[in-house]
Structure 1
Amino acid sequence: MTTPTRMPAVFLSHGAPTLPIDPSLPSGAFATLSSELPRPESVLMLSAHWCTLQPVVSTAAQPETIHDFYGFPRALYEIEYPAPGAPETAQRAAALLRERGVPVDEEEHGIDHGTWVPMLLMFPHADVPVTQLSIQPRADAAHHFAIGRALRALRDEGVMVIGSGQITHNLRAADFSARPEDADPHVAEFTDWFEDRLAARDIDALLDYRHRAPHAQLMHPTDEHLLPVFAALGAADDDYTLGVQSLGTYQRALAMTNYVFGSAQR
């Protein structure tokens, strides 16, 4: 029997729901990223758009495509992403969490746009099984890092653990008529700090980003869109290699950066 390739852990800035249909957005970069990564046997996605009080995994065998947004072009609501679910991956994730004393529920849940938008761009044939694990916006970065640590073993089982959110996310500061060159300079100060701390593997600083990162409150008035990165970071090796795909800043305040936490072990 062939041993599965150890999967990287990944964080994706999934952008606006219109990413698949708006040519001004960097949708093609997700296909490029996918081509550079090993193909997973399944994906476990932690999306900023499934929020619960305690962790919940989806055991849906054929998850529905959830259009969890309002006021967008009709074409977006017509998109379906019919990938199979990954109930065995979900149950394995639940077992790993329970081994660490983390209570977790199971239910049949669809895939929200934080999952199906990047999956559509990375795996357009909908042939990679996918399941979701919820995040807990009332909990902190350390909680999500611990969740990722509990899931680390999945990476040796052909499962790609992906956190899907946004490296900066302040819709109140967004200007939807702005050009990429109109980006708020505070955005780069925050993202540069975050990337530097990731490169240094400074976990303590990253988990305390609210107090240490420049403009943290401005970049994330609420941090549900950043919490998935800590789960991906937790799932990574202690000596991870860092890959960075910087896609620019849109609507003045919404930066899109993807991180790949790779392994030196082959």
Structure 2
Amino acid sequence: MKNNPLTLKPILSTKPYEAQTLPSLFISHGSPTIAIEQSTYTQTLQKIGKNLPKPQVIIIMSAHWQSETLQINANPVPATWHDFGGFPAELYELDYPADGQTQVAESLATQLADRGVAVSLDSDRPLDHGVWTPLLHMYPNADVPIVQISLPYFFDAVACYQLGQLLAPLRSEQVLIMGSGSITHNLRQVRFGDKAIEPNAQTFKNWVVEQLRYDVNGLFDWQNHALASHNHPTPEHFLPLFFARGAGEMMSVVHESFAHYSLTMDIYRFD
């Protein structure tokens, strides 16, 4: 696949000597209960937040915002959305009061529209749990502004990857680009509390890591893998991976584990 030649102009007023290039990240967010859990996974999220240079803004694609066309959250004070049911009461009491960044959202929308991308702003969108549950551990003070972008229904792996490529230059402005989803996400296979690992999930995860390291082009046809539909009956939790990978190149595994038998909780970094 040829590189996407289009890039975005600066969206922040960062002076060159102040800017620090950040990686892009893919976070497997698993169950919403990660917000109230302590584990090696949540400890890793905490370490990432402490060790990375503090971002000026986070641009994130979550599996939990799908839309007809590309949308960008321009809400200056997005609410914390508890978009799930049947979990412990304490989970619904959590608030993650991070600000939005309307100026960044508007700049992104304008530049993408100038390139022929159908895009619109949403000024009312709250933050879904694919955004705030991992960020609660990374930046517990909610002191980094967030701009969420949607996952259009018609986007495939290539489209997500190319969108990530467009945003890649923003990393040099201390913008943290993130994809939030899951490497495996078959809820019918979930067994809460089961510490065993589903073999089909392990096999698929191993293949994904191999492709990311050595043959990302081969990963674009991921739905042809024999275990693709088993691990992803629907694609929305896998596609944010391509957004993060498009924004960075060299891949490293920051964390790997499983939760509830079949959910891969891996965290990948792309530099």
Give the alignment's TM-score, normalised by structure 1: 0.91
The answer to whether the 8 A contact 1:97-1:147 is kept is no
* Aligned residue in 2 for 1:249: 258
Partner residue, 1:148: 164
Please give the secondary structure, in 2, of the residue aligned with 1:245.
strand
Among candidates 135, 138, 141, match of residue 122 of structure 1: 138
Structure 2 stretches of 5 or more lacking a match? 1-14
Partner of 1:224: 236
Equivalent position SS for 1:18: helix
1:95 pairs with one of 103, 110, 132: 110
8 Å Cα contact 1:12/1:257 also seen in 2: yes
Deviations 1:36-90 (A, max 9, x none): 3222110011010011011100111111111100111111111000111111221
**Maintained 8 Å contact 2:164/2:242:** yes
Residue identity (%): 37
* Structure 1 residues not aligned, in runs of 5+: none
Q: Which residue of 2 aligns with 1:188?
A: 202
Give the AA of the match of 2:95: E
Residue-by-residue CA offset, 1:197-228 (whole Å, 9 max, x unaligned): 1111x2321111111x4511111111100111
1:14 aligned to 2:26?
no
In structure 2, give the amino acid aligned to 1:199: R
Choose the corresponding residue for 2:56, options 41, 44, 53: 41
Separation in 1 of the partners of 2:153 and 2:89? 30
Give the root-mean-square deviation of aligned CA atoms: 1.5
- Please give the TM-score of this superposition, normalised by the length of structure 2: 0.89
Distance 1:229 1:96 in 2: 23
Distance in structure 1 (CA, Å) of the matches to 2:166 and 2:84: 31
Match of 1:199 in 2: 213
**Distance in 1 separating the partners of 2:168 and 2:114:** 13
2:12 match: none
Question: 1:13, 1:165 within 8 Å by CA — same for their partners in 2?
Answer: yes
> What are the Cα deviations for residues 147-195 of structure 1, in whole angstroms up to 9, with x where unaligned?
112222221222111000011100011111411xx11111121111111
Q: Which digits, 9 at most, give the CA deviation of each residue in 1:130-160, with x for residues without a partner?
A: 1100002333111111211222222122211
Structure 2 partner of 1:168: 184
